[in-house]
Amino acid sequence: MSTFDADTFLGTETDAPMETHFKPVPEGEYTAMIDAVVAKEVNDSPVLDVTYIILDDALRTEMNMERVSVRQSIFIDMESDGRIALGENRNVKLGKLREALGQNNAGAWAPRMLVGAGPVTIKTINKPDKNDPETIYSNVQRVAAAA
């Protein structure tokens, strides 16, 4: 049960300025686990947002964060009947992720099976927000089986 009390929060005073920029995860390769997956639509295209938790104590200390996370957005090719499309040049990024996790085999599989999976090796890159170049986003560029 949460200890958050909205009324107490609204009356809580602070006497120092707050940060105005989020420090991005340094670009590089990290060992990570999948924390969450969210399905959404972007411009009428299905997208799977995969959130990874980076397993690196030194990075957590450097960033002053209990949990360091990064995201990978994977556009999904779908069949007209709503199934995930299979075959040549279809859902290659999703296939690479499943392969890295040992989940790219014949048999029943669903995107929810990604949650909690890993470890994997991820490569992160940083990109500025197209509307605010001072805002930098850390994203996953590549996923491979953990060494």
On the CB side of 117, CA atoms within 13 Å amount to: 21
**Class of residue 141 by CB neighbours under 10 A (exposed 0-12, middle 13-18, buried 19+):** middle
Alpha carbon distance 99, 28 (integer Å): 21
What are the Cα distances from residue 59, in Å, to 26, 62, 68, 71? 9, 5, 8, 16
**The two three-digit tokens of residue 136, written as one number:** 């930098």
Is residue 103 a part of any domain in this protein?
yes
Is residue 7 a part of any domain in this protein?
no
Number of domains in the chain: 1
Q: Are 59 and 68 in contact (CB under 8 A)?
A: yes
**pLDDT tens by residue, 55-110:** 999 999 999 999 999 999 999 999 999 999 999 999 999 999 999 999 999 999 99
What CATH number corresponds to the domain at position 117?
2.40.50
Q: Chain-wide mean pLDDT for the chain?
A: 95
Q: Can you give the pLDDT at residue 3?
A: 87
Q: Can you give the pLDDT at residue 120?
A: 98
Is residue 71 a part of any domain in this protein?
yes
Is residue 91 a part of any domain in this protein?
yes
- Cα 116 to the center of its chain, rounded Å: 12
Q: Is the pTM of this model over 0.85?
A: yes
Is residue 4 a part of any domain in this protein?
no
- Give me the percent of the chain exceeding a pLDDT of 70: 99
Alpha carbon distance 109, 90 (integer Å): 16
Is residue 13 a part of any domain in this protein?
no
Nearest to 67, CA basis, from 83, 82, 80, 51: 51
Alpha carbon distance 139, 127 (integer Å): 8
Is residue 50 a part of any domain in this protein?
yes
**The two three-digit tokens of residue 64, written as one number:** 């002053």
pLDDT higher than 90, residue 27:
yes
Is residue 101 a part of any domain in this protein?
yes
Q: Are 44 and 36 in contact (CB under 8 A)?
A: no
Domain that holds residue 100: 19-145
